[in-house]
Structure 1
Amino acid sequence: MQLWKSLVNLFLQSNCPLCQRPASEEFCEYCHKQLQKCRLTGSNNSKNNLSSPPVIAWGAYGGAIKRAIATMKYNNHPEIARPLGEWLGEVWLQEYGSKGSFMVVPIPMHPEKQKERGFNQAELIAKSFCETTGLKLKVNGLQRVKATEALFGLSPIERKETLTQAFDIGKDFRKPPNVPVILIDDIYTTGTTVNSAVEILSKSGITVSGVAAVAVPHRGKLYKEFIGKVG
């Protein structure tokens, strides 16, 4: 019987998208360990009083997590979003438990870009995040109405100009929710994208309590102040 189980497990294994080693889950054991080294712990993923809105993050952007996110987005591996969203959800639960009522909204992609990629990684991460936390997902809380160039390499002013009027309220929020919103994205860097989304939501009377991102630049003590607003 044990031999049969071993054969079945071997048959069910796929290759790790990061190194092509056999893997029974999304990542092989080696890459999983490398990814966990990127995890922010304690105060490193917790406080940034200057952040507006406040941000909670799972890991520091670089190394294995940078490679995993790039592989997910550019090498057609949407399955990577499931563990990333789960890990981000676990950070949320460790910090806040089941306190507070929120709606979770992923940062949207422009329809043409999403069609080209085949998926929106923020949406997939948000689905896994909500499965882990039990929070309610609103996939269409926002819509992206302006196709924008990649922000990498742009100055803060250029980023802001590029994202001006890039978002609008989505069909899920034609009637504003009566609870605050948490925005979900894969990477949080300068906050330009998030601030543009927050501006649109605020104009409709929708409160954004914070942002949850898989990875942020490692600048010492990061990132969450979230919740005088949660209690």
Structure 2
Amino acid sequence: MAIWKRVLHNFLDLFLADRCCLCDRPTTNVDRLCTSCEQRLQTHQFSPANQFLTDEIPVLVWGLYGGSLKQAIAAMKYENYPQLAAPLGRWLAQAWLNSLKNRRPKSSRSKYAVVPIPMHPEKVKQRGFNQAELIAKSFCETTGYPLRSHGLARIRPTQAQFGLSREQRQQNLARALALGKDFHRRPPQYPVLLVDDIYTTGATCREAVKALQKHQIPVAGILAIATSRTDS
């Protein structure tokens, strides 16, 4: 009788257990990632020496956009798997904290205000969430930094940046971002870290930096999960 109970239990587990959102295997991981897919994602991480891109403001990117990392970001954004933001945010936080340990001279600053790149309210309504905000939330849970979800606001809709030239991206984003209600009420006590999912030309982040600097709010760095760029 005990054998049949065990068989029945295993049979029910097969159908009732959570499934990995990348390969559909059963998993007990709350992030909906099986061990195999998590290990594949980790292979996309840049080495510490290659995590910073050469731009005006320090840009730290966790990994190379492609393969399973590209699949995970697409699943999060377009297939309604927002829970994938949790591990991505944790990994980004660990990379950032490690970079602080290795930086010379070491920064004396211990906190930053974390601001996700905003989406237009209509787009948030369609998708149900802003993936940058969810990544930033997980990042802050690991670092202990304060999250300012509405430090910035997208005040007009913009078309998708994919497929646009550098100049078209800049025009598309011109005056699309402004100071959000969090900072209208009270400016941040700490320099800002901007968080996004993908960093390509940096056009979106440059507009975010402009919007903050217009109000004398310093930006200490830009953090993203993935980039297709390999310069460092």
TM over 0.5: yes
1:187 maps onto 2:191 in alignment? no
SS in 2 for 1:114: helix
Tell me which of 67, 70, 80 is aligned to 1:66: 70
1:87 maps onto 2:96 in alignment? no
Amino acid at match of 2:42: Q
Matches of 1:105 and 1:219, distance apart in 2: 25
**Deviation digits for residues 152-179 of structure 1 (CA, Å, limit 9, x no counterpart):** 0101110000000101111110132232
Matches of 1:42 and 1:184, distance apart in 2: 18
**Deviation digits for residues 16-64 of structure 1 (CA, Å, limit 9, x no counterpart):** 1111111121211221111011011121113x4x312211111111111
- 1:160 aligns with 170
Tell me which of 132, 147, 166 is aligned to 2:142: 132
- 1:118 aligns with 128
- 2:38 aligns with 32
Flag the structure with more relative contact order, 1 or 2, with Cα contacts below 8 A and sequence separation at least 6: 1
- 2:105 aligns with none
Is the 8 Å Cα contact of residues 113 and 189 (structure 2) preserved in structure 1?
A: no
Matches of 2:176 and 2:117, distance apart in 1: 11
Matches of 2:109 and 2:47, distance apart in 1: 21
Matches of 1:199 and 1:54, distance apart in 2: 15
What is the deviation of 1:117? 0.2
Matches of 1:99 and 1:15, distance apart in 2: 41
Matches of 1:163 and 1:112, distance apart in 2: 16
- 1:227 aligns with none
TM-score by length of 1: 0.87
Is the 8 Å Cα contact of residues 152 and 177 (structure 2) preserved in structure 1?
A: yes
- Structure 1 regions of 5+ residues with no counterpart? 222-231
- 1:219 aligns with 230
SS in 2 for 1:57: strand
Tell me which of 137, 145, 158 is aligned to 2:155: 145
- 1:170 aligns with 180
SS in 1 for 2:136: helix
More displaced 10-residue stretch of structure 1: 199-208 or 167-176: 167-176
What percent of counterpart residues are identical? 49
**Deviation digits for residues 63-90 of structure 1 (CA, Å, limit 9, x no counterpart):** 1111100010000110110110011111
RMSD of aligned residue pairs (Cα, Å): 2.0
